[in-house]
Amino acid sequence: MTIPSASARRRHRLVVILLLAAGVAIAIIVAVGLIRPVGGDSNAIAPLPPSTGTVPGQSASPSAAPRSDGTAPPSVVPFAAPGPRAPGKRTTTEVENNGGSDPVRLPPSEPRVAMFTGPVPQSASASGRLVTGFPSVIPLAHASTVASSSVASSGTIVQATLVARTTVAFGGVVDFYSKQFAKFGIAPIAVPAAAGSTAFAFTRDDDNVTLTVTPTGDGGSRYSVFGVLNAAS
């Protein structure tokens, strides 16, 4: 048997020492991996708690994070989808017919009665009577005596003038003609007159009649009527 030299023995011991050092290092690494120290790596996976039906990291009821001033934030109201809108109040100008009867209708307006009727008279005048063609819309007051009358026409415009005397007092004459022209929807309007007389106008569109009444000392009155009438109205 060959006895190794001193240099060969030194190499052999060096190899044995390196192998032992490598084995110790491997053992230390394995031990560190198996034993987790307290407060270890925060990235380590922790076991899951029993299931509660909620997503991990989310509480059962949503809430906002606390404010920096220490007050609790308002509760979070869950979003709710809007429901169907209630029908609004119906607005219409139509008249609803709930029953079987016809809707209410206003009666047709009656045609306005013309103040002047008949053919347009020729211009003429008369004393002590009414001239031929004098408009019937201007009648004589009760118990009247005609002093003069006249008519004048131009196209469809007719002018009529009457001067008379009556035993009826001032108020009776005014009342007579007020009732006459009320048939045409006309009311008297006071207008200026000469001293001692009173005048009233009866006007509708193109038709105008002016009455002037002067009381007399015997209780009667003198009066005159001047009318401008439109035969086409």
Which among 84, 104, 88 has a CA at the least distance from the CA of 96? 104
Q: How far apart are the first and last CA of the chain?
A: 165
**CA neighbours closer than 13 Å in the CB half-sphere of residue 83:** 2
Predicted confidence at residue 14, as pLDDT, reads 75
CA distances from 78 to 59, 61, 116 (A): 14, 10, 84
State the amino acid at position 51 in one-letter form: S
H or E element, residue 24? helix 6-34
**Residue at 164: amino acid letter:** A
Q: Which pLDDT score, from 0 to 100, does residue 81 have?
A: 54
Reading the block at residue 57, the tokens are 């990291």
C-beta of residue 204 within 8 angstroms of C-beta of residue 185: yes
Strands 157-166 and 221-230: antiparallel
Closest C-alpha among 164, 170, 166 to residue 147: 164
User: Other C-beta atoms within 10 Å of 134: how many?
Assistant: 23
pLDDT in single tens digits along all 233 residues of the chain: 555 566 677 777 777 777 777 776 776 776 656 555 444 444 444 455 554 544 444 444 444 454 555 555 555 445 455 555 555 555 555 455 555 556 667 666 667 788 998 899 999 999 999 999 999 999 999 999 999 999 999 999 999 999 999 999 999 999 999 999 999 999 999 999 999 999 999 999 999 999 999 999 999 999 999 999 998 76
Domain extents for the chain? 124-230
Query: Could you give the dihedral angle defined by the CA atoms of residues 56, 59, 60 and 61, in that order, rounded to the nearest 10 degrees?
Result: -150
Buried b (16+ CB within 10 A) or exposed e, 190-203: eeeeeeebbbbebb
Cβ neighbours for 113, distance < 8 A, ≥ 6 positions apart: 183, 184
| The pLDDT of residue 84 | 58
Contact assessment for residue 165 and residue 147, using Cβ atoms and an 8 Å cutoff: yes
Q: Which residues pair with residue 125 across a beta bridge? A: 150
Contact 214, 196 (CB under 8 A): yes
